[in-house]
Amino acid sequence: MDDLLLNYRQLGDIFDTFSMGVMVVGPDRKIISLNHSAEIITGYNESDLRGKTCSQVLLDSLCGGECQYQDAVESGRQAGSVDFEVSDRSKGKHNITRIVSPIYGPDQIPAGCIEIFQDHTVFKDLLERVRHDDRRLKIILDNLDIGVLTVDRGGHITFFNNRAETITGFNRGNVLGKSCSMIFGKTSAHDMLLFEETIADGQARSTGEGEIKTRDGQAIPIRANYMALKNEDGRIVGGLATISDLSLKYQFNSEIRGRYTFYDMVGKDPAMQKIFEIVPVVAASDATILIEGPTGTGKDVLAKVIHNASKRSKKALVKVNCAALPDNLLESEMFGYVKGAFTGAEKDKPGRFQEADRGSIFLDEIGDLPLSLQAKLLRVLEDREFYPLGSRKTTTVDVRIISATNQNLEQLVREKRFREDLFYRLNVMRLDLPSLKDRRGDIPLLISHILKRLCATRNTAVEKISNDALEVLLNYDYPGNVRELENILEHALIVCQGKIIERNHLPLSLQGGPPSRLPAPEKPAFEKEIEYSEKTLILDALQKYNWNKGKTASALDMNRSTLWRKMKKYNISN
């Protein structure tokens, strides 16, 4: 447990970059560490507080007079946040945003707590002085690590700072003069209403956790604050909104507790959008779910998202990999056994179904379940009861069953390798996850999402991917799907020592022949003639197939990456 908590000290260095304080507390509520930002916010040095019970020194000054750790552990809730005003040891007032999340060990035993807090006092004072036409302060706002946008009374964007560009993916040139609904969109109607009310009556407002859609269509969690802008006469001439990206909080939650949410799955492909639309409806019911899709497409993540969005989220999601356990152990693992059921069974042992009681059970690789156990599983589905191994009494459970497979269960049924009646009971709601090569348009979105998470958890800062490396990533077929893409990016982050991921940072199997760095000699005349003919051939084919690169590459008998490279070489664009 101590090693686990000490690992969280490294997070303090990450959050120092954002001027956010981090405090790690043990299960006995004794303070283990504070980062530099936490020292500045609290007015204490880490050496002053290390080993002391947090309630003795910080309960009123930093925690708002209330400890949420025990309540969070007992309720099993996710990380929570609250805004309040506190006084430091020199009686100075501070506006604090505080996020509290319990830390759990591998066995799900509470190991302590991590608290993240940010002081908004200086920023709030700055906003109080902002005027609609104050150019000097807008220069300052442009360099803050929080998104800022201003609008006129009609809601048209008049200012959009650098951080807002980073969060939303929109370039200020694309949004200035446009309605702010372009940023908030239909999913943030409540935020739009708050902003309009603030401009109307001049009263500052704050929103809880909301979301916006980025330019690429990715939903990201945010917290927003709104205030009215006034001219020198005190007349309201517009409004100002601040946007805080909460993605890091959700990624923390996913890493610490496996509490995956909708923000952990991204995609704008129509097949993924259909899944995103139906999952909230499915999660709210108790229907049995079957998830099909190739290996590495995220079936386990989708199962966790469904469980965590359901009314069973406070109870366990128990995973059973039907392909990983030997047949002779699978029954006892799933259904448990009683004392004396076999040699070595010295006491009763509950199975996975009993552990999942009032929660959910995830049966991964269900297509590999032996026929002998399929009948027993069918009874659980029909009657919610079963016999533990060696028992003469039935055990009743209240369990939601989510199953997944990378095989075609209908084909297995035709081959008599899977029970038809079990298939129909599992196939109440079926979700099909497409392979990554069938939704190539999502690859840039996934790269951005995965890199953001990996950089946050590995204390790494990468600013971009070179065009050469991106060409490789966009044209690879990914037989291992999203999981393989994540492994490739993690490999690149480990190898990359700078701010830009280059082609040579990718795994060797993807690199191919590295581009020559020597100056190219003058081409003979016949080579120029060949290149002219090739360029003409490619242009004619592109026009014939309406610039469809897949059909063009097929017609020219070359792969997409070769076509893309030649278009770049000959400066061909639509």
Mean pLDDT of 71-80: 56
Mean pLDDT of 44-48: 83
Mean pLDDT of 535-564: 78
pLDDT of residue 413: 92
Q: What's the gap between Cα 399 and its chain centre?
A: 27
What is the DSSP code (8-state) at residue 263? G
Element (H, E) at 26: none
The answer to whether 405 touches 444, Cβ cutoff 8 Å, is no
pLDDT at 186 over 70: no
pLDDT at 258 over 60: no
pLDDT digit string (tens) for 197-255? 888 888 888 776 777 777 776 777 788 888 888 776 778 888 888 888 776 555 544 44
Mean pLDDT of the chain: 77
Q: Which fold has domain 124-246?
A: Beta-Lactamase (3.30.450)
Integer Cα distance of 151 and 177 in angstroms: 9
DSSP secondary structure letters along 180-194: THHHH-GGGHHHHHH
Higher pLDDT, 366 or 551: 366
Who's near 522: CB < 8 A, 6+ residues apart? none
pLDDT of residue 326: 79
Domains 2-119 and 124-246 share a fold: yes
pLDDT at 86 over 50: yes
Residue 152, class by beta-carbon neighbours within 10 Å (0-12 exposed, 13-18 middle, 19+ buried)? middle
pLDDT of residue 519: 42
pLDDT of residue 323: 84
What is the DSSP code (8-state) at residue 337? B
pLDDT band at 521 (very low <50, low <70, confident <90, very high): very low
pLDDT of residue 403: 95
Q: Write the CATH number of the domain with boundaries 437-511.
A: 1.10.8.60
Higher pLDDT, 207 or 356: 356
Most confident of 208-222, 461-475, 528-542: 461-475
DSSP secondary structure letters along 492-560: HHHH--SSEE-GGGS-HHHH-SPPP-SPPPPPPHHHHHHHHHHHHHHHHHHHHTTT-HHHHHHHTT--H
pLDDT at 568 over 80: no
pLDDT of residue 266: 77
pLDDT of residue 3: 54
Question: Class of the 525-569 domain?
Answer: mainly alpha
Beta-bridged to residue 151, according to DSSP, are 157, 239
Q: Write the CATH number of the domain with boundaries 2-119.
A: 3.30.450.20
Q: What's the gap between Cα 510 and its chain centre?
A: 26
Q: What separation, in Å, do the N-terminal and C-terminal C-alpha atoms of the chain show?
A: 58
Integer Cα distance of 385 and 396 in angstroms: 4
Q: Which of 16-25, 123-132, 286-295 has the lowest mean pLDDT?
A: 123-132
pLDDT of residue 2: 52
pLDDT band at 184 (very low <50, low <70, confident <90, very high): confident
Q: Which of 28-37, 98-107, 464-473 has the lowest mean pLDDT?
A: 98-107
pLDDT of residue 555: 78
The answer to whether 494 touches 501, Cβ cutoff 8 Å, is no
DSSP secondary structure letters along 485-499: HHHHHHHHHHH--SS
The answer to whether 231 touches 131, Cβ cutoff 8 Å, is yes
Mean pLDDT of 304-327: 87
Who's near 503: CB < 8 A, 6+ residues apart? 466, 468, 469, 472, 511, 514, 515
Higher pLDDT, 423 or 55: 423
pLDDT band at 112 (very low <50, low <70, confident <90, very high): confident
Strand order in the sheet with 236-245: 157-160, 147-152, 236-245, 219-230, 205-213
pLDDT at 420 over 90: yes
pLDDT of residue 425: 92
pLDDT at 171 over 70: yes
Q: Which of 31-45, 231-245, 275-289, 557-571 has the lowest mean pLDDT?
A: 557-571
Question: Residue 4's closest CA among 20, 25, 18?
Answer: 25
Mean pLDDT of 368-394: 87
pLDDT at 366 over 90: yes
Q: Which of 95-104, 237-246, 489-498 has the lowest mean pLDDT?
A: 95-104
Integer Cα distance of 526 and 59 in angstroms: 81
Q: Residue 93 has which token pair?
A: 């007032």
pLDDT of residue 364: 92
pLDDT digit string (tens) for 2-44? 555 555 555 566 566 556 788 888 878 888 888 887 887 777 8
Mean pLDDT of 244-272: 63
The answer to whether 351 touches 330, Cβ cutoff 8 Å, is no
pLDDT at 421 over 60: yes
pLDDT of residue 29: 80
Count of Cβ atoms closer than 10 Å to residue 519 Cβ: 5
Q: Write the CATH number of the domain with boundaries 260-434.
A: 3.40.50.300
CA dihedral over 407, 411, 415, 419, signed as positive or negative: positive
Domain ranges of the chain: 2-119, 124-246, 260-434, 437-511, 525-569
| CA-based radius of gyration for the chain | 28
Owner of token pair 């020292």? 39
pLDDT of residue 109: 73
Q: Is 292 strand, coil or helix? A: strand
Higher pLDDT, 227 or 90: 227
Q: Residue 90 has which token pair?
A: 């020199």
pLDDT at 150 over 90: no
Q: Which of 12-21, 43-52, 80-89, 552-561 has the lowest mean pLDDT?
A: 80-89
Q: Which of 119-133, 150-164, 484-498 has the lowest mean pLDDT?
A: 119-133
